[in-house]
Structure 1
Amino acid sequence: MRTRRVRMTGRETPASGRELKFRALMAELRRGILDGTWPPGSKLPTERALATETGLSVTTVRRAYEDLVALGLVERRQGAGSFAAHRPERDGGGQRIVGVLVPDTAFYYPRVLQGIEKELAAAGARLVLACSHYDPDEEDAAVERLLSAGVHGLLLVPSLHTATDPGRRAEELLALPVPAVLVERRLAAYGPGDPTEHVCTDHEGGAYDAVRHLRALGHERLGLVVRTDAPTTAPIESGFARAVGDLGLPGPPPYERDVMARWDPDRADRALAALRDAGVTAALCFGDREAALMLGAARRAGVRVPGDLALISYDNEFADVAETPLTAVSPPKYALGRLAAQILLKRLAEGEAAPLHQVQLRPRLVVRASCGGGRGAGGAPRGQGGSGRGGGA
């Protein structure tokens, strides 16, 4: 049997440092159990021996073992010690089992999940779903549960945008004992240094296309309304600014930025007043909720949409049922889910022989009443002739 040293060095530090070391110990023990270094039934190091080896306290090691017991990866035997637990075989009679982790199952991700389910069903694979609710601790626990369920691969929407060190978080995910494809997440700031396999929406391109459409309708002074507590915000802001510059529009464009919790009718009233004072005649709003609040603010202020102010929403979750149906940038959610599943299945079939996929899908613009124009920058109709629910299907 192979032996494994747990590579944890240095003394514990208070608070966040101690928590990081605990997480690293958990990840190392989990990998050793799942990759067969400690086969089912094999005895694990004692708490005291592991504490001496890693430089951590016995209390921290005990906590790690207790969490692994809760996940079904470790068994405690009174008087005998801790042992790697017997787990369900991943074979599944030849059926692939794919774990899927999303942060939310109410908005945005249902269409992504439909795409994933469609592709996995066509391949005879089974899906196991987990939700993190945008909680990093729950995210880790959910990944552990999926691994304990015997999944062959993972489709993950991790909280990279809130991680203290996104690169390190990505490394932890890459070190999991099964292949992982990221969905709607990537290390954009790393450029070609991003090592992850991912399928994402080109949110920068979506914002760019919205600005280009408004410019084609004759608008020159544009504004941007965004909530800041989302991974989508940065690329939307970047795409908006790039389009304003490329199209020679006056700048800098006025931005109204705030966290989601503070977007309410009063905040929308202030945002509308600021945009109007800046001479804005058209705005891009992220997301549908914020755009709907801006519609309400316009109604209260006697501002006509689209006559006085044209609006484009970003997300297309419920833009078509707003009091004035909203033109919207529509991420290809369904297609994105299908493609992510295809890439993971290819990785499972071909292993390292498969190329690393790093894919971005461009959203489409669904034109409705709120921008006052039914033709895109090139003169061709955009997104007409249907309900406009979007989603890339």
Structure 2
Amino acid sequence: MREPVDARRQRILAAVQERGTARVRDLAAELQVSGVTIRRDIEELTREGKLRRGHGVVRSTLPAQELPEGGGGDGATVAVVVPERHSYLYEALHGARAVFDTAGMRVALHIAPPGPGTERPQVERALADGASGVLLAPRWRSSDVEQADYDWLATLEVPTALMERRPLKGSALHALDSVCSDHWFGAHLAVEHLVRLGHRRLVFATRDDSPTARTVHAALSEIADAHPLVEDWAWTLSSSRGGMDRGPGDVTDLASTLRKVGATAAVLHSDVDALMLVQRLAEDGVRVPEDFSVVAYDDVVAGLGSPPLTAVSPPKGEVGRVAAQLLLRRVDGSDRGGAHSVQRIELLPTLTVRGSTHPAP
């Protein structure tokens, strides 16, 4: 989901205000936008009198104590903890940062390495450094690892919110602000799209190394079981990285699963695994989409494939923005006296149709 222009320009103002002077190319890299976009934004902000341009740099015209509209963070720091090498959650992180930057709050990013329980030391370090709140997306490779984290997370004495994580009902973390994509609805979009194209035999291949992966698996299974037009379906693990105790040989049966079911289409989580399936099918002389249709789940790099992949697109940036807003209202004091109820928010994914799906042969 593309970041709104106003939000991006507020981030530019916050970044320049913090430093006094900033290089244009550094701002483009930091905000992950093109040089054309950043120059257009700077030109408009200069025209409004909020920035002053120099040769390759921009300067703030605001007094040192003044923050962009919506500020008031008093320089407080919010810790954001996400897993290592997780591009999906990094997009949510950028959405969250836009909110915190606009509010004048500093973001301290902590990367949790692979392995169970690695988020806890990062959170403890952040609190020792004086963080006023924690925005968290634990890896939680298994339900046992997830539940093992509940007790210590429930004892944190600063406001905490979860991104793309939904604690078990009735657990110690049930009453914790959280924002998730509605992955059941995303699975529904994928299956309905293929069924409308005439596909009746499907294969689902998902990872199982996160709550998102397990939710997508469960949703696809439930929907296919109940769908009157799905004649047969099967599930297999999409990647050997989907479980710490599996080896590469555990996922080599994907092609045989497709043949066994007589499948004409597949839904794969995640994008990279979907792209690799298309490559393997091409090596076997199977054309995508003429002979076989593929839907990816995540839409981080699906559009870069050949052909570009049809994909379910969870609202990654919006998840981060909403989670940051929930946390901010508690950190900045607007929730004194518990005026705000705890919120467990679900945002709907969308389906982006590209070149990897076609009517059933």
Q: What is the TM-score of this pair, normalised by structure 1?
A: 0.66
The answer to whether the aligner puts 1:311 opposite 2:294 as a matched pair is: yes
Counterpart pick for 1:122 among 102, 108, 118? 102
1:200 alignment partner, SS class: strand
Counterpart pick for 2:196 among 203, 216, 227? 216
Distance 1:199 1:232, change over 3 A: same
| Deviation (angstroms), 1:147 | 0.2
Counterpart pick for 2:154 among 165, 174, 177? 174
Count of residue pairs the alignment pairs up: 282
Superposed CA deviations along residues 315-371 of structure 1, whole A, max 9, x for unmatched, are: 111111112211011111111111011000112221422110101111111111001
The answer to whether the aligner puts 1:195 opposite 2:175 as a matched pair is: yes
| Deviation (angstroms), 1:288 | 0.9
1:207-356, aligned counterparts within 5 Å? 207-250=187-230, 253-257=233-237, 259-261=239-241, 270-348=253-331, 349-351=334-336, 352-356=338-342
1:146-157, aligned counterparts within 5 Å? 146-157=126-137
Distance 1:93 1:236 in 2: 37
1:108 alignment partner, SS class: helix
Counterpart pick for 2:164 among 184, 192, 195? 184
Asked if the contact 2:99–2:325 (Cα under 8 Å) also holds between the matched residues in 1, the reply is yes
The answer to whether the aligner puts 1:109 opposite 2:89 as a matched pair is: yes
Asked if the contact 2:181–2:349 (Cα under 8 Å) also holds between the matched residues in 1, the reply is yes
Counterpart pick for 2:354 among 368, 371, 382? 368
Distance 1:266 1:320, change over 3 A: farther
Q: What amino acid is the match of 2:329?
A: K
Asked if the contact 1:265–1:293 (Cα under 8 Å) also holds between the matched residues in 2, the reply is no
Aligned alpha-carbon RMSD (Å): 2.7
2:166 alignment partner, SS class: coil
Asked if the contact 1:265–1:297 (Cα under 8 Å) also holds between the matched residues in 2, the reply is no
| Deviation (angstroms), 1:233 | 2.1
Report the identity percentage. 33
Q: What amino acid is the match of 1:229?
A: D
| Deviation (angstroms), 1:243 | 2.2
| Deviation (angstroms), 1:265 | 9.7
Distance 1:317 1:132 in 2: 21
| Deviation (angstroms), 1:151 | 1.1
Asked if the contact 1:204–1:235 (Cα under 8 Å) also holds between the matched residues in 2, the reply is yes
Q: What amino acid is the match of 2:90?
A: P
Superposed CA deviations along residues 125-147 of structure 1, whole A, max 9, x for unmatched, are: 11111010233343211111110
Q: Which structure would you say has the larger RCO, counting Cα contacts within 8 Å and 6 or more residues apart?
A: 2
2:233 alignment partner, SS class: coil
Distance 1:220 1:93 in 2: 54
Distance 1:247 1:93, change over 3 A: closer
Residue segments in structure 1 that go unaligned for 5+ positions in a row: 1-91, 374-393
| Deviation (angstroms), 1:161 | 4.3
Distance 1:249 1:192 in 2: 41
The answer to whether the aligner puts 1:357 opposite 2:343 as a matched pair is: yes
Distance 1:189 1:307 in 2: 44
Distance 1:290 1:168, change over 3 A: closer
Counterpart pick for 2:125 among 118, 127, 145? 145
| Deviation (angstroms), 1:107 | 1.4
Q: What is the TM-score of this pair, normalised by structure 2?
A: 0.71
Distance 1:340 1:193, change over 3 A: closer
Distance 2:303 2:247 in 1: 20
Asked if the contact 2:202–2:232 (Cα under 8 Å) also holds between the matched residues in 1, the reply is no
1:312 alignment partner, SS class: strand
Q: What amino acid is the match of 1:280?
A: A
